[in-house]
Structure 1
Amino acid sequence: MSRYHLVLEALRRSARVPEGGAAPAEHGHAMPARHRGYIREHFEDTPETRGWTWAG
């Protein structure tokens, strides 16, 4: 499960969709597909995924 899936699930379970909620949902659907395509082409994670570190 990715952070995109978590956002989509939170929006799905929300009693009401917050104003502007459609944009994160669209992004959440598009990014996993983009990531899979990038991996198939380059055989590695996207640069933003590879360079991600826990900030906390």
Structure 2
Amino acid sequence: MKRSKELTEKRKDFVNDYVKRNQDKQMKVIVTELTEMLFLSERTIYNIIVQD
């Protein structure tokens, strides 16, 4: 369980950092790039972004 929690925290941090670094792009483009990099659904990425 602990490992899973650590991985989700790292993933969340990565997504948030990526969004901050690429603020000049449209959100749809950022989400598409993250979807391809992390193999996550768009919904999951949007949920991670909204949580913060």
Give yes or no for TM over 0.5: no
Per the normalisation by structure 2, the TM-score is 0.41
- Which structure has the larger Rg? 1
Q: Which has the higher contact order (CA 8 A, sep 6+)?
A: 2
Per the normalisation by structure 1, the TM-score is 0.39
